[in-house]
Structure 1
Amino acid sequence: MLQTLRSKILFYLILISMIAIIIVSFFIQYGFEESFSSYLDRNREKKIDRIITEIEKDYQLNGHFTSDPVFGLLHEHAMTEQLYFQLYDRFGQLQMDSSNIRGLLNSFGLAEPAPNGEEWHSQTYTLRVDNQVIGKLVAIYPKGLIDDEYTFIQTIQLYIYAAVCLTIVLAIVFSMLFSKKLTSSLQKLSFAANELQNHNLDIRIPLSGLPTEVKDIAISFNNLAVSLAKEENLRKHFTGDLAHELRTPLATLRSQIEAFQDGIWEPTPQRLQTTHEELMRLVRLVNELEKLLAAENPQIRLEKIELDAGSVLAALFEMFLPLFKEKGVQLQIEESAQDELFEADKDRLMQILSNILNNALKYTPAGKNVTISVETNMDGYVGFKIQDEGSGMAEDDIPHIFERFYRGDKSRDRKTGGVGIGLSIVKALMDAHKGVIKVKSKLNKGTSVTLWFPKED
């Protein structure tokens, strides 16, 4: 009982609707009866005031009580309104009495018998002419509603009960529809979540017709599914690329060793050097993978200290100048006019900048330039911009360059000796620093990489 969300929503909607309907119907019926009773009392008072006025006018005109036209009025109210009067003079003598008309009507069967226990109410009014008391008038009428009045109230109550029943039915129907509508959205979420759990990464929740709150959850779910699908594709590509990276040197090593074993090749120093180079390719690959795993470790601890951007540039220049001179590439540094301080892990920072500079050196031909400068046009950040005049890359490749083993040119890293992990390490370490990477590149024009580090943690 009430185990599902829909049953709970349905129960509470119906419960609240029932309480509201009962309260509203009670106040409507109570208020109407009170208002109707007040209306009848005011109407009765007007009729009594009219009788008193007619009696006083007749007395003033004739000097005594006459039966015409006063008794006609009394008779009319007795016959139609069950409003009876007894008229007394100033000596207390009964002059007129219309209350006996009901007994006369009952005897002829012209009036309904009085209900058992029917209560009557009487009210006395003093009659005056020229400020002199001429007598009194006693009005007698039954308490509560009578005849048509009672029938009218019963009819109104019947309509109220019918409206209550109809409202209850509508409340139940609409509560069922609303609970179904709401829970259907949650059922879509539940179904999609189960599909995602079963590795259906293509599942998406349609957003049309969803409530705003559920739509926000659905959007987050769809984004999560897209991210998981992307991660799955990256994992598959990584596995394939890793297998490819391992297969080539292993195949070469196997063929060379088998050639040695079969006596096809003599183990000359040159051939042993070739075998050693293939082995070192495997060693570099494993080392790069270890660095990547260390950089992507969510528990990586950075030993941040305050650094000066100018000092970092000077250290880079001194470290890489011999390598650039050896290849014939000009390394230029544009120092900032003022000291720019920021917080970073010095070793990790140098690892990041070294990887970017190595890439710039690899893909920049002799006679060209590589420029390093400090950028300060981003609030709260200090940037290192490394711009080369190398081969550049296609615009479509830029969003993927930080993926493991990604190559826009499939043969480029083989020529330069890379394994396609260096930029993945850069991205992981920049994320650990909460930094931002901006890349711009054009084919045969060069590449610009700006690494933004927050000034404060």
Structure 2
Amino acid sequence: MKIHNKLFLILFSFTFSIIAGLVVLIQYSIGQGIIDFVNAKEVKALEPLAVKLSKEYARTPSWEKIVGGDEQFLMLVNAQLRDSQFLPATRGVPQRPFMRNDDRFGPPRGFGQRERRPPPEHAAHYVLLDENQQRIFGKLFDDLKYIKTPIELNGKTIAYLGVSKRQSLADGYELDFLKQQTNYLWLIALTAGLLTLLLSFLLSRHLVGPVKQIANGMHKLTKGQYSTKLSLERKDELGQLSEDFNTLAFTLAKDEQVRKRWLANISHELRTPMSILLGELEAMLLGIREPTHSNISSANDEALHLKRLIDDLHMLNSAELGGMHYTMQPTDIGFLLNSIEQKYHVIFEQHNIKFYLLNSANNSTINADKTRVLQLLDNILMNAVHYAQCSTISLTATNINIKGHAYLELIIEDNGIGVEQTHLSHLFEYLYRVDSSRNRQEGGSGLGLSICQHIVKGHSGEITAEKASIGGLAIVIKLPLFTQ
């Protein structure tokens, strides 16, 4: 079953069950309320009889003399309820006044015994009880509950006038009212059910529609259609999910382009030195070129270039898989930068490059792998020496604070040809070259800056490329300072 149908059935069934339950509960509550109202009304109608019986008892303290028997008791009740909607069980019996000693009826047969036949649930039964709530006259059933009105004389209860509680209604305007309310309730329930059906359908479609679009989009992504884009104008979680989907599709498309460019570049990078090497070896084998020291040295250079490329690829692969290990220890910034200056002094003189070291972080320490940091600076400086065509290189070290955290900022600038703004964000991608026609024998593997980025990330730092203040390219490195 589809999720749309499941959601619709769940919403409709749950809501309809609540509505039906409420209707039944309200109907039961109204019915019980009306029955309780009728019972209370009947007790109210019998209150004058209790007053009369109290007055008669004051004159003649004998219930047998006052009432006479069961039949006479029911006649009294019938006389009291004559003008009301309530009629006793002995309907049609002639009415008699209060009896005296000389004209009362004798006790009926079975006097003092309770009747055992269960009465109809809608009929009321009346009983006169003594002060101990024992039957004197009338009908007292074990299965019925009675509302007992005390008959008092001089503040003392001398008897009780009881009427059984009705459990249902047989006739009267209350029954008509109850039937009318029941019809209204079921009409309301039917209307609410239809509205629930409509709302459940609309709500399920409103919720499931975007899910279907996202599912279709995911299906297209699995087929490699990374240009798929969703346009859900929603402000809820599904809208956020659609935005995340679009971000995912864009990322996959970008990664696919990078992968294709990576495959093209790596195949080209490997093919170039390999073709040169095979061409030189084939020429020497065919006798076109003599196997002189110079020719063999040229072939060896191509083999070394190929080896460096493979080594860099292996290092990058190790970094991606977490295989580039770091031995972290507190490292003094001043000592590190002085080592760099001494190491490259001769190289800078050979290329007629002026080097300026501006260190305002002499007393600072970073937690770093010294070998990896030297490799990082080596790659950046050698790039500047070989490719920037510069005459000046500066290295500035300062301490900065970013959001309450202390960092060492290293800025390596040159005054060379620089890099266009559009290329700056791509310099750290694998095999990315600003000048694709550069001689690959001099151009290196194209992986140096990618390795630099992995080293900086391994030290929880950040590396970016910017326009230099002195005209060329600036590499900015931020490394967290060591805190004890």
Gaps of 5+ in 2: 52-77, 104-118, 129-148, 155-160
Q: Name which of 28, 31, 41 aligns with 1:30.
A: 28
* CA 261–337 in structure 1, closer or farther in 2 if over 3 Å, else same: closer
Q: Name which of 386, 393, 407 aligns with 2:433.
A: 407
Structure 2 letter corresponding to 1:25:
V
Structure 2 letter corresponding to 1:158:
N
Matched-pair contact (CA < 8 Å) for 1:374–1:383: yes
d(CA) in 2 for partners of 1:337, 1:443: 21
Deviations 1:8-63 (A, max 9, x none): 5445434432442243223312332234345555666777789999xxxxxxxxxx
Matched-pair contact (CA < 8 Å) for 2:333–2:361: no
Residue 83 of structure 1: CA displacement? 6.1
Structure 2 letter corresponding to 1:278:
E
Gaps of 5+ in 1: 54-73, 95-114, 132-137
d(CA) in 1 for partners of 2:43, 2:5: 56
Report what 1:57 is aligned to.
none
* CA 127–246 in structure 1, closer or farther in 2 if over 3 Å, else same: closer
d(CA) in 2 for partners of 1:169, 1:402: 63
Report what 1:187 is aligned to.
212
Of stretches 396-405 and 257-266 in structure 1, the one that deviates more from structure 2 is 257-266
Structure 2 letter corresponding to 1:174:
L
Of stretches 167-176 and 428-437 in structure 1, the one that deviates more from structure 2 is 167-176
The alignment status of 1:386 with 2:431, answered yes or no, reads no
d(CA) in 2 for partners of 1:451, 1:139: 100
The alignment status of 1:198 with 2:231, answered yes or no, reads no
d(CA) in 2 for partners of 1:197, 1:126: 86
Q: Name which of 225, 228, 241 aligns with 2:252.
A: 228
% identical aligned pairs: 25
d(CA) in 1 for partners of 2:13, 2:334: 73
Report what 1:313 is aligned to.
337
Of stretches 441-450 and 327-336 in structure 1, the one that deviates more from structure 2 is 441-450
SS in 2 for 1:81: coil
* CA 139–313 in structure 1, closer or farther in 2 if over 3 Å, else same: closer
* CA 442–338 in structure 1, closer or farther in 2 if over 3 Å, else same: closer
Matched-pair contact (CA < 8 Å) for 2:334–2:361: no
Residue 262 of structure 1: CA displacement? 4.4
Matched-pair contact (CA < 8 Å) for 2:125–2:163: yes
d(CA) in 2 for partners of 1:404, 1:266: 38
Matched-pair contact (CA < 8 Å) for 1:385–1:451: yes
The alignment status of 1:120 with 2:118, answered yes or no, reads no
What are the equivalent positions in structure 2 for 1:112-151 lying under 5 Å apart? Answer: 119-122=123-126, 143=166, 144-145=168-169, 146-151=171-176
The alignment status of 1:284 with 2:308, answered yes or no, reads yes
Residue 195 of structure 1: CA displacement? 2.6
TM-score in terms of structure 1 length: 0.74
Residue 88 of structure 1: CA displacement? 4.7
Of stretches 266-275 and 240-249 in structure 1, the one that deviates more from structure 2 is 266-275
Structure 2 letter corresponding to 1:295:
A
d(CA) in 1 for partners of 2:367, 2:17: 64
Question: Quick check: which one's helix share is greater?
Answer: 1
SS in 2 for 1:199: coil
* CA 270–149 in structure 1, closer or farther in 2 if over 3 Å, else same: same
* CA 336–141 in structure 1, closer or farther in 2 if over 3 Å, else same: closer
Q: Name which of 393, 398, 421 aligns with 1:374.
A: 398
SS in 2 for 1:377: strand
Matched-pair contact (CA < 8 Å) for 1:413–1:419: no
d(CA) in 1 for partners of 2:399, 2:29: 79
Report what 1:70 is aligned to.
none
Alignment coverage as a number of residue pairs: 414
d(CA) in 2 for partners of 1:418, 1:260: 26
* CA 357–367 in structure 1, closer or farther in 2 if over 3 Å, else same: closer
Q: Name which of 456, 462, 473 aligns with 1:436.
A: 462
Deviations 1:131-156 (A, max 9, x none): 9xxxxxx9999945323321221121
SS in 2 for 1:419: coil
Matched-pair contact (CA < 8 Å) for 2:415–2:471: yes
Structure 1 letter corresponding to 2:363:
D
The alignment status of 1:178 with 2:203, answered yes or no, reads yes
SS in 1 for 2:227: coil
d(CA) in 1 for partners of 2:469, 2:121: 109
The alignment status of 1:345 with 2:369, answered yes or no, reads yes
* CA 126–242 in structure 1, closer or farther in 2 if over 3 Å, else same: closer
Give me the CA root mean square deviation. Answer: 4.2
* CA 9–127 in structure 1, closer or farther in 2 if over 3 Å, else same: closer
TM-score in terms of structure 2 length: 0.71
